[in-house]
Chains A and B, each alone.
Chain A
Amino acid sequence: MTCPRLEETSALFDGALGDDAAAAARAHVDGCAECRAFDAHMRRVRDALREPVAFAAAPAPRALWRRRIAIPLPVALLLFALLVALLLPRRAARETGAFDGFDAGRAPVVVVRSRGAR
């Protein structure tokens, strides 16, 4: 079950309630286990966030994607399409035999002669 006064407990924690409302909220929190647990959670979050060094240095972005020289999306898509267009014909050529590489049946023959055999 969720206590309907949890949001008020959050405002109390922030000191955002007027005197009367704060006194009433405090009295409620004292008698409500759920609000006390929520108060403890808020305190834990605050403690964790307010540690002296809350953040280590952020990772440096990859040079290629630095904000100032980031490639706009349409240009990036165009480049990608160009890349695919350049690579595809080569692959297709390979598959149709325009260049079929070396195979065992047609391996180049290397003849080794010894000088002493003349």
Chain B
Amino acid sequence: MTDERTFTLAYAHHYPQVERFLRGMLAGRGDAPDLAQEVFLRLHARGPAAAGEAQVRFWLFRVARNLALNELRRWTLRDAMRPLLALLAAPQPTPHDALVRDEDRRRLLAHLAKLSADQRAALLLREWEEMSYDEIAATLEVSVAKVKSDLFRARQALRAAWENER
């Protein structure tokens, strides 16, 4: 269990970033605030004991990544069940897209959803959290070489998607 002080500091410093990371990872396919709460519940219940600030940060994003992957797997099942879902619940309009004004960003976010989860996680940690390759590797528990390769492939894929639109 994480002590109260570490938890309070972590919540104050990292909650918005963790939630944003989850939004990026889920790309509209889940409840990011709900999962972010879950990340911090887990931190409180069984987070790293006596860990430094950096370790807590890596731990938070690692757990967020894992929860996002679980959620995305569930959504794959739900997508398969969509015809049934349509029978059970009437569709409701979502204001999501209307609020995203910037065209470049809107297109980018749509393409982000098509990247592999590994590539998306690496790119979001790099661009939003401004983590170094070593920090991303420590967070995602992968090699620095994989981080380098995932970032490159993510950018290549985004570029190809962007150019295909033209």
Say whether B96 contacts A10, CB under 8 Å: no
| Residues of chain B contacted by A38 (CB below 8 angstroms) | 155, 159
Query: A-B contact count, CB below 8 Å?
Result: 105
Q: Is B54 an interface residue (CB 8 A)?
A: no
CB contact list, B93-151 vs A, under 8 A? 94-97, 99-100, 102, 104-105, 108-109, 124, 126-128, 132-133, 148-149, 151
Bound together, the chains give a CA A93 to CA B155 distance in angstroms of 60
Bound together, the chains give a CA A61 to CA B71 distance in angstroms of 13
Say whether B92 contacts A62, CB under 8 Å: yes
27 CB < 8 A contacts A-B: A7-B148, A7-B149, A7-B152, A10-B152, A11-B148, A11-B151, A14-B126, A14-B151, A16-B132, A16-B133, A16-B148, A38-B159, A45-B108, A48-B102, A48-B104, A50-B127, A54-B24, A56-B95, A56-B96, A58-B23, A58-B26, A58-B32, A59-B96, A65-B89, A66-B34, A70-B78, A76-B81
Contacts from B to A (Cβ < 8 Å): 20, 23-24, 26, 28, 30-35, 71, 74, 77-78, 81, 84-85, 88-89, 92, 94-97, 99-100, 102, 104-105, 108-109, 124, 126-128, 132-133, 148-149, 151-152, 155-156, 158-159, 162
Interface size on A, residues (CB 8 A): 37
Chain B residue at minimal CB-CB distance from A64:
B89
Say whether B96 contacts A58, CB under 8 Å: yes
| Residues of chain B contacted by A49 (CB below 8 angstroms) | 105, 108, 124, 127-128
| Residues of chain B contacted by A62 (CB below 8 angstroms) | 89, 92
Bound together, the chains give a CA A10 to CA B127 distance in angstroms of 13
Known: A38-B155, A57-B96; 9 extra A-B contacts, CB below 8 A, are A42-B155, A48-B104, A55-B109, A57-B95, A62-B92, A65-B78, A65-B89, A67-B30, A70-B74
